[in-house]
Amino acid sequence: MTAEALAQAKVNLTLHVTGQRTDGYHLLDSLVMFADVGDVVRVTMADTTSVTVQGPMAKDVPADESNLVWQAARMMGACAEIVLEKHLPHAAGLGGGSADAAATLRLVSRLTETPIPGDLTRLGADVPVCLGNRAARMQHIGDRITPMRDLPALYAVLVNPGLAVPTAEVFAHLANKANPPMPDEIPPMEDGGALTDWIRGMRNDLEAAAIQVQPRIAQVLKAIEVTGGCQLSRMSGSGATCFGLYRNAETAGSAAGRLKEEFPAWWVANTRLNAPS
């Protein structure tokens, strides 16, 4: 009764903040794709729930009921021994905790043959899109998910300077919380270059606010921008992880190698962002 899954990193290629409800929840409009890097979640059904956190990014990740994987098991009405192997930076704008929770939901559902509950935003705004684990448009408070099945793959480099940026603090620095959404329709894209061009015309409304909270994000964006073949550099989510988009895997790999050499203390991942086939 053990199962394992990769909790893939979520990358917000766009992130438009379009409003705020009276209960404090922010309204979003975001194009999301998933990387081929992430955490590993292993679930074994048990009499009591426990969480063990290990891996290169395990530091400061809680192993108690505050961890979303524990809460995900409880939401399923199950007890499990959960081993969380952390490879993604903590509080990094990659939806790591939400992806871990979504993977736990999928695994417990598979092992117990129990359906996953409907209202997952109680665990976090990113959990519903991470549950699908596929390219999607995420709207409202994260509960309106539109799969984007026809998007081409993108070659990317993810970079985090080793800084955790609290999401609440970034939103507190956001000057305008009622910005225009993305267009009603996302047009068909024939290749990654066309998709990158379209993304360039969109925004991450949290980027400027995150730079106010942690100015080093601007340095990261610049470092990515000047790598050979970089077509676009932008922040993901609420930061501090940023990404660069490249024409092919070779160019992205070369850029990742250069960034690792110049900034050995930074977390750098060469990856492919892909929609479902």
Residue type, 212: Q
Q: For the structural domain made of 149-273, what CATH number should be given?
A: 3.30.70.890
Sequence spans of domains, the chain? 2-140, 149-273
Encode pLDDT of 176-220 as tens digits: 999 999 999 999 999 999 999 999 999 999 999 999 999 999 999
Let me know: does 178 contact 216? Beta carbons within 8 Å.
Answer: no
Encode pLDDT of 110-151 as tens digits: 999 999 998 899 999 999 999 998 999 999 999 999 999 889
Encode pLDDT of 248-264 as tens digits: 999 999 999 999 999 99
| Residue 56 vs residues 63, 87, 236: alpha-carbon distances, Å | 15, 6, 21
Encode pLDDT of 223-246 as tens digits: 999 999 999 999 999 999 999 999
Protein fold of 2-140: Ribosomal Protein S5; domain 2 (3.30.230)
Give me the active site residues, please.
10, 126
Dist. CA 77–CA 84, nearest whole Å: 19
Is-same-fold flag (2-140; 149-273)?
no
